[in-house]
Structure formats: C-alpha cells, structure tokens
Amino acid sequence: MSKAIVDAVQKHPAPEGLKYIYGTAGFRTKADVLDSVLTRVGLVAALRSRSLKGKWIGVMITASHNPPEDNGVKLVEPLGNMLQEEWEVLSTDMANKANGDEVLQYYNEIASKYKIDLDAPARVVVARDTRASGARLLGCVQDGLKAAGAEVKDYGFLTTPQLHYMVRCLNTEGTKDAYGTPSEKGYYEKFGAAFKTALKGKRPQGSLTIDCANGVGGPKLVELIKYLPPKEEALEIHVVNDNVIKPESLNVDCGADFVKTNQRAPPSSKTGPGDRCCSLDGDADRVVFYFKDQANVFRLLDGDRIATLVASFLGDQVRLAGLADSIKIGVVQTAYANGAATQYVEQHLKLKVDCTPTGVKHLHHAAEKLDIGVYFEANGHGTVIFSADTLDTIAKYEPKNPGQAEALSVLRACIDLINQSVGDALSDALLVEVVLAHKSWTTQEWLSTYTDLPNRLLKVLVSDRTIFKTTDAERRLTSPEGLQKQIDVEVSKVRQGRSFARASGTEDAVRVYAEAATKAEAEDLARKVAELVKQAGSS
C-alpha cells in the first residue's frame, strides 16, 4: 500500500506555494489546481472510514455557489453530517503535504495517533455535481482511494444532499434507525411518499416554479417529480433552468445565489405577480423562495423565512398532538439572520434562538442539542432535525382524540419528508409547500408575518484574511486590534444598527454585513464598515 500511496501522490504533484484550507464547507478553489488535494482527500477519507471500522464515508465533488470554473470537495460523516472539525484539521495538513514521502509519513502518523487498524476495511461513497471539472477531480479522489485500498461506491451525478442521504442509508441499513434504501430510486420513493402523506389531501395554492441554477438539481428534480402525486391532486411544478448539457451555464443569471445576492428573479423568469417561485443552488443544498407582489415588486423569502415558517408549523403540530410539554422546538441561526427574523422567533413564536458561526456544520451541531432543531442560514441552507428521544416520543405516543391523531400523523410524515442528514433544497421546497398548503397561505401571507430590516452584504478583498479573527459566533472581531471599537462607533450612529465583519471560509475575502432601520442607513453602515476593514487589512 505504501508504494501505491506514494505513486498516487506523485501522479498529482502539489502546486508550489499554494495553501489549502478546509473552510466553511470543504476545500474550494479554482478547479485547475485541486488535483493534488483531491488525491490526498481520498487518503484521508479512507483513514476516516477505517477509524470507524469501515463505516461508509462520503466524498462529494462540488462547490455550491462559486463560478463554474471553481470546484471543491466536501467530506461526509457516517450519518450524513459534515466532517468533524478534528478531521478538517487533518485534511488541511494532508492537503498541504508537498510530496509522496511526506504524505505517506503523515498517513502513518494519523493511523498511529488514532490507533487505526490499517487492515480494517475502508468504504467510501463518491458523487459529483455537473461541473466540467468534476470527472477529472473524481479521478484524482479515486486514485487516492485506490492507493489506500478503499472499497468505493460511485453514484455518478447526485445532488449534495442525495450523497449525504446515501451515506446515512448505507450505515443504518438493517438497523432500527434504517434511514432508507441507498439508491436514487429509494430517495425519490421516500420523499415522494412522505410529501403525499404530509399533504393530507390539502393542496398548495397555484403552482411552483423551480429554478435549478442549471445544476445537478435539475435532472434530479425532474426524476423526483415522477414520484410525487399527480399535479391534478397535489402540486403543479414548473422546472426551469435545468440545462446541464452546458456546464458553463451553471449559476449564470439564475440560482439561489443570484436571487439572494441581487434581490431579484432570474432575468429569464416568466412568472407573473403572485406566482410562487424558488431557486436552488448548483448542488441543490439550498433554496430560497420569492414572488412578485401585486405592485410587481420582487419579494424574497429566504432561509430565515423558511425557518420561521417551518418552526411555527411544527410548533402548532406538536401542540395539537398534545406533546407541547415533552417536546421543545428551537431555531438555530447565524449572524447573517435578519434581526427581524430573530425577534419574530423569540417574541412571536416564543421559541429559543441559538446563534452559531457560519456554515451548516455549526448549525447542525447546535440543532442536535434540541428536541426539534430548525436550522437555516439566511441564504437557504438548512433543515430540521429531531433528537432520538423526540423520534421515540412521536413514534410511541397514543393520541387521545382525532385532532391529536391528525397532528401526529402530519408530524410523522414531516419527519420522513425532511432530509435529516443535511439541508436539502428539494426536500425543503416540498416541506414549504406542505406548510403553505396546511396554512392555506399565499406567499404574501407568509411574507407578512414580519418585516425584514433593510440590510447589505459586501465583500472586501484584503491581502491576508487570516488576520480577521472573531468571537461570539463571529459577531465581534478580536483582531486586528481596535477594529471592533471602530465598528461599534459606526453602528451606534444608526437606528437599529447591527454590523459585523468576518473572513470568508470559501473565498479570499472578508464579508461585511450591516442592517439598520432604513435602507439608506444600512447601505451607509455597510460601506463605512467595509472601508474600516479595508484600511485594517492594508496596514
């Protein structure tokens, strides 16, 4: 095995001078320099699986929101969660080893540090999105996996959440926690059936147009639709931007990132006032909803809105089922959540809100501590997870009357409809439809639950983003010295002001967020803080 590892690594030499970081979600950068990292990632994945005595680990080749010429890789733990932080550090170190001998030495060091039996089986599931570089990068991962003697299951093209689903299914097969059949068909059957049950014969108003960002979500959605109840009985879905023949059209003038960042519908959109739309990102792990109101003004219903909608619905069902005393719901957000959303959850829904650093892995871990944890990033990444005790309570509870029985059965169907391994745009979109159908709400009614504070997100290019260090779930800077005080002064000058700056974990930049009572104040605050960041970054 040692020679094979050295050979595989030498086949994909590391570019000189580049430093790779396992960031907010995996490694991401220009696709043309990723080969060496991917081979090393294959080795780390094999080690991780062996450290868990042959449990399946996932490797997904994707970079959800960057341009098509970028790419990246995410590693998936046995239950479909993101890679553990400890292993992110190991991956980073491995990714930055220069040559075959160094890599082999580090491989053996990890094995001895974690007492890994190198003869234990290593099992790894791989898949990719539709970026042109995916095939080549997958080859690099395979070289690493093969050299390490891993058993590999290649699912070809999948959405990121489908890959997470497969990993969870494979590791729970035949146990009491069996999550589903580890095949694409199994995925469609599970979520299709749950959608039908959860609707309980109710129908969402109007149709739903789904923009697939010209990414892998397009063909997968088309397939999923075949497993949904017929449109005459349930939901009519229009699929748009599902061209995967031209990988370079990925995310171009469409997709969740375009819609959220530009606060407008894709220019190709043909929908009229009131029509409900949503956009997926390139690997279908996030979704945002939107519509044009009667005055033809674009209205966004982002991850914060999905979280509040779903939390309020699940709260109602838990209450109606008679379980309010034994099951508590909480919402997990990041600092990018709109202040109005946080206030709505705390004061109107009377639920607890936790704030974590950016990245679904952080939200997921915080949500795991709750009975029902609803977690979403403002940009639409997120899901709901139910603790083992909560699942048990809901499974065993004997309803006392037909009302309780009805709510209980809705809750059970929602558990099946929600991808519990990771945020899943397809499953989330169906969940939103179920909630709107039950509430008999239009998007306008959903929107009118609260009013967002005007906000602005800016990106500042600096020479070294690593000097920007934060605390308090990234809401305050501890370095560079004195910068936070300057930001505080600017924030205090505007009404309902809030602003923070943090280094991006996916791009070479510092992100600045600001919100305030009016659009002008929010814009002004963002600009001033960005200027402060720029100065601090260049001194």
Ligand X SMILES: CC(=O)N[C@H]1[C@@H](OP(=O)(O)O)O[C@H](CO)[C@@H](O)[C@@H]1O
Q: Which residue has the tokens 């748009």?
A: 240
The rounded radius of gyration (Å) of the Cα atoms in the chain is 23
What binding mask, one character per residue, do residues 76-105 give for ligand X by CB under 6 A, x or -? ------------------------------
Task: Indicate which single residue of 6, 14, 21, 25 sits in contact with ligand X (rule: CB under 6 A).
Answer: 25
Beta carbon of residue 534, minimum distance to ligand X (angstroms, whole number): 18
Q: Which stretch binds ligand X (CB under 6 A): 180-188, 247-255, 376-384, 522-530?
A: 376-384
269 is in an annotated binding site: no
Among residues 41 and 436, whose Cβ is nearest to ligand X? 41
Beta carbon of residue 63, minimum distance to ligand X (angstroms, whole number): 8
Site membership for ligand X, residue 424 (CB under 6 A): no
For residue 200, CA distances in Å to 181, 204, 227, 237, 435 come to 24, 11, 16, 18, 11
64 is catalytic: yes
368 is in an annotated binding site: no
498 is in an annotated binding site: no
For residue 361, CA distances in Å to 27, 184, 449 come to 14, 24, 28
Beta carbon of residue 82, minimum distance to ligand X (angstroms, whole number): 10
Among residues 339 and 505, whose Cβ is nearest to ligand X? 505
Length of the chain: 539
Beta carbon of residue 24, minimum distance to ligand X (angstroms, whole number): 4
299 is in an annotated binding site: no
Among residues 78 and 357, whose Cβ is nearest to ligand X? 357
- Interface with ligand X (CB under 6 A), residue total 16
Distance (Å, whole) CA 259 – CA 256: 5
Among residues 305 and 381, whose Cβ is nearest to ligand X? 381
Q: Which stretch binds ligand X (CB under 6 A): 8-16, 135-143, 353-361, 427-435?
A: 353-361
Q: Which residues have a Cβ under 8 Å from the Cβ of 93 and sit 6 or more positions away?
A: 106
Site membership for ligand X, residue 505 (CB under 6 A): yes
Beta carbon of residue 66, minimum distance to ligand X (angstroms, whole number): 9
Beta carbon of residue 320, minimum distance to ligand X (angstroms, whole number): 33
Name the token pair of 50: 């062996």
Coarse DSSP helix, strand, coil percentages of the chain, rounded to the nearest 5 percent: 45, 20, 40
Distance (Å, whole) CA 71 – CA 33: 10
C-beta contacts of 316-320 below 8 A and 24+ residues apart: 316/407, 317/407, 317/410, 317/411, 317/414, 318/372, 318/407, 318/411, 319/407, 320/403, 320/404, 320/406, 320/407
Among residues 25 and 394, whose Cβ is nearest to ligand X? 25
**According to CB under 6 A, which residues from 219 to 278 bind ligand X?**
none
511 is in an annotated binding site: yes
64 is in an annotated binding site: yes
Beta carbon of residue 421, minimum distance to ligand X (angstroms, whole number): 16
Site membership for ligand X, residue 377 (CB under 6 A): yes
Distance (Å, whole) CA 414 – CA 312: 13
Among residues 63 and 431, whose Cβ is nearest to ligand X? 63
180 is in an annotated binding site: no
Of 51, 64, 421, 499, which one is the catalytic site residue? Answer: 64
Among residues 179 and 336, whose Cβ is nearest to ligand X? 336
Task: Name the nearest CA neighbour of 152 among 143, 161, 165.
Answer: 143
Task: Indicate which single residue of 12, 419, 506, 514 sits in contact with ligand X (rule: CB under 6 A).
Answer: 506
Name the token pair of 178: 């069996």
What binding mask, one character per residue, do residues 311-340 give for ligand X by CB under 6 A, x or -? -------------------------x----
Distance (Å, whole) CA 238 – CA 63: 25
Find the DSSP H helices in 243-302: 255-262
Distance (Å, whole) CA 496 – CA 491: 8
What binding mask, one character per residue, do residues 37-76 give for ligand X by CB under 6 A, x or -? ---------------------------xx-----------
Beta carbon of residue 114, minimum distance to ligand X (angstroms, whole number): 27
**According to CB under 6 A, which residues from 5 to 24 bind ligand X?**
24
289 phi/psi in degrees, rounded to 5: -105, 160
70 is in an annotated binding site: no
Using CB atoms within 10 A of its CB, is residue 289 exposed (0-12), middle (13-18) or buried (19+)?
Answer: buried
Q: Which residues have a Cβ under 8 Å from the Cβ of 132 and sit 6 or more positions away?
A: 68, 247, 248
Site membership for ligand X, residue 499 (CB under 6 A): no
Distance (Å, whole) CA 131 – CA 230: 32
Distance (Å, whole) CA 280 – CA 256: 5
Beta carbon of residue 322, minimum distance to ligand X (angstroms, whole number): 37
183 is in an annotated binding site: no
Site membership for ligand X, residue 504 (CB under 6 A): yes
Among residues 393 and 504, whose Cβ is nearest to ligand X? 504
Among residues 78 and 303, whose Cβ is nearest to ligand X? 303
2 phi/psi in degrees, rounded to 5: -60, -45
Site membership for ligand X, residue 361 (CB under 6 A): no
Task: Indicate which single residue of 97, 305, 511, 528 sits in contact with ligand X (rule: CB under 6 A).
Answer: 511
Cβ(399)–Cβ(322) below 8 Å: yes
For residue 384, CA distances in Å to 202, 279, 435, 495 come to 22, 19, 14, 33
Q: Which residues pair with 56 in a beta bridge?
A: 123
Which residues contact ligand X (rule: CB under 6 A)? Answer: 24-25, 64-65, 336, 358-360, 377, 379, 381, 504-507, 511
- Residues making up the annotated binding site for substrate are 377-379, 502-506, 511
- Residues making up the annotated binding site for Mg(2+) are 64, 281, 283, 285
Active site amino acids: 64
- Residues making up the annotated binding site are 64, 281, 283, 285, 377-379, 502-506, 511
